[in-house]
Amino acid sequence: MREVLSDIDRWQAQGKSIALATVVQTWGSAPRGAGAKMALTLDGEISGSVSGGCVEGAVFQSGTQVLKTGRPQLLSFGVADETAWDVGLACGGSIRVFVKPLDSAMYGEAHEAVTADRLAAVVTVVNGPHEALGRELMLGEDGSIVGSLGAGLDEAAIATARSAMEAGHSQPATLSRVGGESLEIFVDVLLPSPTLVAVGGVHIAIALASIAKALGYRTVVVDPRRAFGSETRFPHVDQLIQDWPDDALAQIGLNRSTAVAMLTHDPKLDDPALKIALPSPAFYVGALGSQKTQAARRERLLAAGLTEAQVDRLHGPIGLDIGAKTPEEIALAVMAQIVAARNGAPSR
């Protein structure tokens, strides 16, 4: 959603009709995951993508029809289709894309959640009776509900949305009406933007913050040492905190969209911060240091009262083993491990 907001806002200000296409299911080597979006207008403007360029043309044609008729469409592309070679999915992937006219009211609610970095989920009926197709309901992290799927479906939809929010990823699902009729829905989980907190304004942190920003992360650097944590060294970060790491982390507030990288190599700075980061919901916590340094650090943290399970969360030595030597290479190894952790991939 985040990638198409600015263009949709501009088109709305210009009074244009807008269609929104969303990947609602994938199989095999699909170019983009569930939740990927493409917005389009009748005069040929496109924002975002639902594939690596493979099916955008076909989706655009369907989108113009949707805007003219007002009727949403569920599209399927895959190797079993005669159109597979034409649209470029002959590599083995299959996707389903739901295209509907943009609902300005629901978009406004979703826009507010995304820009405020609040967790939310939008549930859309993507397959079912004509009168239900395209209906939407949004569940906020605080339990607030906007919209309705109707026909007594809201309770089940909210439970499904809550489960998807806890899992942290968008997903398709099926709901049953009274009488046995089923509808297909898509739960689009709107996650807060990921944040990287680098503790220690060292050379590695300079490169790490740049790589993280290129990947869409909000970047925060923490260092109480003015010579290291200066604006001159970090003009490119979103937030620079010249405070002790434990105080800074408490101020930032760590959530499941946060990654913390301890780079100071100094127990006076690292250990107090790790006592906050490891028990937190942060999806990644890593610390610079050799195997020997990590062993000593582990003993200190356990002696300080952290549990075995909490200490086991620590990635140390930090980063994937790619033979990195320069600060830039180490930063790449660290960011690769953070991405693997966020995507649930094995970190080797």
User: Contact, 38 vs 23, CB < 8 A?
Assistant: no
Range from 24-38, 76-90, 223-237 carrying the lowest mean pLDDT = 76-90
The reported pLDDT for the residue numbered 237 is 94
- The average pLDDT across 267-288 equals 94
- pLDDT band at residue 148 using 50, 70 and 90 as cut-offs: very high
Q: How far apart are CA 274 and CA 257, in angstroms?
A: 17
- The average pLDDT across 164-184 equals 85
- pLDDT band at residue 149 using 50, 70 and 90 as cut-offs: very high
- pLDDT band at residue 256 using 50, 70 and 90 as cut-offs: confident
Q: Is the pLDDT of residue 235 over 70?
A: yes
Q: Minimal CA–CA distance to 73: which of 5, 140, 13, 127?
A: 127
CATH 3.40.50.720: which residues of the chain? 195-342
The reported pLDDT for the residue numbered 84 is 47
Residues 208-220, buried b or exposed e (16+ Cβ, 10 A)? bbbbbeeeebbbb
Range from 11-15, 51-55, 172-176 carrying the lowest mean pLDDT = 51-55
Convert the pLDDT of each residue in 186-218 to its tens digit. 999 998 889 999 999 999 999 999 999 999 899
- The average pLDDT across 266-287 equals 93
State what percent of residues in the chain have pLDDT above 90: 70
Convert the pLDDT of each residue in 83-119 to its tens digit. 544 545 545 568 899 999 999 999 999 999 998 888 9
State what percent of residues in the chain have pLDDT above 70: 92
Q: What is the mean pLDDT of the chain?
A: 90
The reported pLDDT for the residue numbered 229 is 82
Q: How far apart are CA 245 and CA 267, in angstroms?
A: 11
The reported pLDDT for the residue numbered 92 is 55
- pLDDT band at residue 31 using 50, 70 and 90 as cut-offs: low
Q: Is the pLDDT of residue 53 over 80?
A: no
User: Contact, 16 vs 42, CB < 8 A?
Assistant: yes
CATH number of this structure's domain 195-342, picked from the four choices 3.40.50.720, 3.30.60.50, 3.40.50.360, 3.90.120.10? 3.40.50.720
Give the phi and the psi of residue 36 in degrees, each rounded to 5: -60, 145
Range from 174-178, 195-199, 261-265, 276-280 carrying the lowest mean pLDDT = 174-178
